[in-house]
Amino acid sequence: MIINKNNKPISTLFIVLSTLFVIQCAPKPISNNTEKSTQNVTIVTKEKKDKEIYFDEDEIQFTNKTYVSNVKTVRLYKKDWELGDPVIELGSGEQLEMRWDVLDDQFTNYQYKIIHCDKDWNKSTLNEMEYMEGFNDNYVEYFENSFNSQQNYTHYAILFPNNLVSFKKSGNYIMMIYQENSPDQPVITRKFYISENTFTLDANVKYPTDVDERYYKQEVDFTAFFDAQEITNPYSNIHLEISQNHRPDNICKGLEPNFVKENQLVYNYDEENVFEGGNEFRHLDLTTHLQKTAHVRHFEYINDTLHGVILNDVNRRFLKYLQYEDINGRYIIKNLIGNNFNLESQYVMTHFSLPCPQQKPDGDVYIFGELSDNEIKPEFKMKYDKASKSYVGQAYLKQGYYNYNYLFVPDNAQSNFEMFEGTHFDTENEYIFKFYYSDPQNFYDRLMLYKIVNSRDTF
């Protein structure tokens, strides 16, 4: 039987840094049994005075959010793969690694709690015993002080699943970090995914059907394959979400296949599956402050704070496309001096400048990428400086190699890179596909496939 419907979107892409560079940047491993490193570690007693915390919100948000101003460089990725997404396969033995810094030299007792969510990031109806084995109020047992750094900080890390907690269900999850015995006051929340990977995907990124868009946008057509004996009513119960380079502002969701036949879901449209091509991400090298690096004008200390002033960026809207390798908006913690990047890297107050003849009256400009958690955040909003006729902004970044772009957010329209970055069909992009199954028997949203497709692999 074939069911014919309308049309909707998709996206695909992925890029990897050179193998040698990734190996060099690999973080110090955390033991599987979550035991602490024996070097430079101090055990914090429960009697230790709690530090004052300033929360941006009074309630827990099921998204990537940092609630405390002195918590920086929050990372969550597949173990030993800093450029990897926070997703593992159910029952595979794979682990996720989470790291963050607190800008002081005091140790704090943190605990973590894991929350199962539905496909729309609301708390699911499953209770803890249904989606996990073990305990859900475990302590963060790995923490060490920084050394050889101007900015003092304490580095924390978790490796999971571990011998204290494991997972029984697929789906969307939230990792919540909080101070000891204060689960109603989160310090960090981060999304991660447990996938069953029982679906397969055949995707193709091509020129748009509309000839007027063929040099500026990318059309994504694809077919998903599933086990027809396991899935009930796939047209109604299968839900798709597609994002480009993890951008939250142009996510495609609620898409319906225009064909359902046997064990296939076919998505082949002319409009709904078209994305702006965008441009390759800009890059910034903060791996050393002892000499000029790529795109940095100079480093200097001001009142004991290390500042890095980068070269003026240019508006690339009307420039020709230039192909070069990026890491699709991600960043890697690294410095060329120390041996332990997580503990010896400096923090740099990094100053950005984007010349613009006059301020845009109908929107705002943001520094965007993994450095902003791929979110539109107030602290990354740029201000217009009339004296220099430039948008200026700053971010306190840990030494490493960064990708970023400038996102324009109109007052009454969808945000876009086109205003300052331009848009090209040839741009290499990652398209992230998530297929959910609203299981009518188990009453939760199973994640059947989490797949990253690189546009250049399908050209």
Q: Is 240 a member of any domain? A: no
Any bridge partners for residue 348, and if so which? Answer: 397
The residues, ordered by sequence, that sit 6+ positions from 296 with a Cβ below 8 Å of its Cβ are: 284, 285, 286, 308, 309, 310, 311
- Counting the structural domains of the chain, the total is 2
Same domain, 287 and 187: no
Q: Which two tokens stand for residue 59?
A: 């309630």
Residue 204 burial by Cβ neighbours in a 10 Å radius (0-12, 13-18, 19+): middle
Q: Is 129 a member of any domain? A: no
pTM attached to this predicted model: 0.87
Rounded Cα–Cα distance for residues 392 and 349 (Å): 13
Domain residues for the domain of 102 are 29-117+134-161+171-193
The residues, ordered by sequence, that sit 6+ positions from 391 with a Cβ below 8 Å of its Cβ are: 353, 354, 356, 359, 365, 382, 383, 384, 385, 406
Rounded Cα–Cα distance for residues 420 and 294 (Å): 20
| DSSP code of residue 158 | E
Q: Which two tokens stand for residue 47?
A: 């009697």
Same domain, 182 and 304: no
| DSSP code of residue 105 | S
Q: Is 111 a member of any domain? A: yes
Same domain, 412 and 298: yes
Note whether 119 and 436 are within 8 A (CB).
Answer: yes
**432 Cα distance to chain centroid:** 11
109: phi then psi, degrees, rounded to nearest 5: -80, 115
Q: Is 445 a member of any domain? A: no
User: Per-residue pLDDT for the chain (459 aa), expressed as one digit of tens each?
Assistant: 444 444 434 343 333 334 334 334 444 446 444 433 333 333 333 333 333 444 444 468 899 999 999 999 999 999 999 999 999 999 999 999 999 999 998 899 999 999 999 999 999 999 999 999 999 999 999 999 999 999 999 999 999 999 999 999 999 999 999 999 999 999 999 999 999 999 999 999 999 999 999 999 999 999 999 999 899 999 899 999 999 999 888 888 878 898 888 899 999 888 888 999 999 999 999 999 999 899 999 999 999 999 999 999 999 999 999 999 999 999 999 999 888 999 999 999 999 999 999 999 999 999 999 999 999 999 999 999 999 999 999 999 999 999 999 999 999 888 999 999 999 999 999 999 999 999 998 899 999 999 999 999 876
Q: Is 260 a member of any domain? A: no
Same domain, 76 and 183: yes
Rounded Cα–Cα distance for residues 167 and 152 (Å): 36
Rounded Cα–Cα distance for residues 254 and 438 (Å): 13
Helices and strands, number each (H, E), in the chain: 5, 31
Q: Is 270 a member of any domain? A: no
- 404-457 tens-digit pLDDT: 999 999 998 889 999 999 999 999 999 999 999 999 988 999 999 999 999 998
Q: Is 269 a member of any domain? A: no
250: amino acid identity, one letter: N
What Cα–Cα distance (Å) separates residue 300 from each residue in 104, 281, 310?
22, 26, 12
Using only the alpha carbons of the chain, give its radius of gyration: 23
Same domain, 189 and 307: no
Q: Is 426 a member of any domain? A: no
Q: Which two tokens stand for residue 457?
A: 């692999």
Rounded Cα–Cα distance for residues 90 and 166 (Å): 10
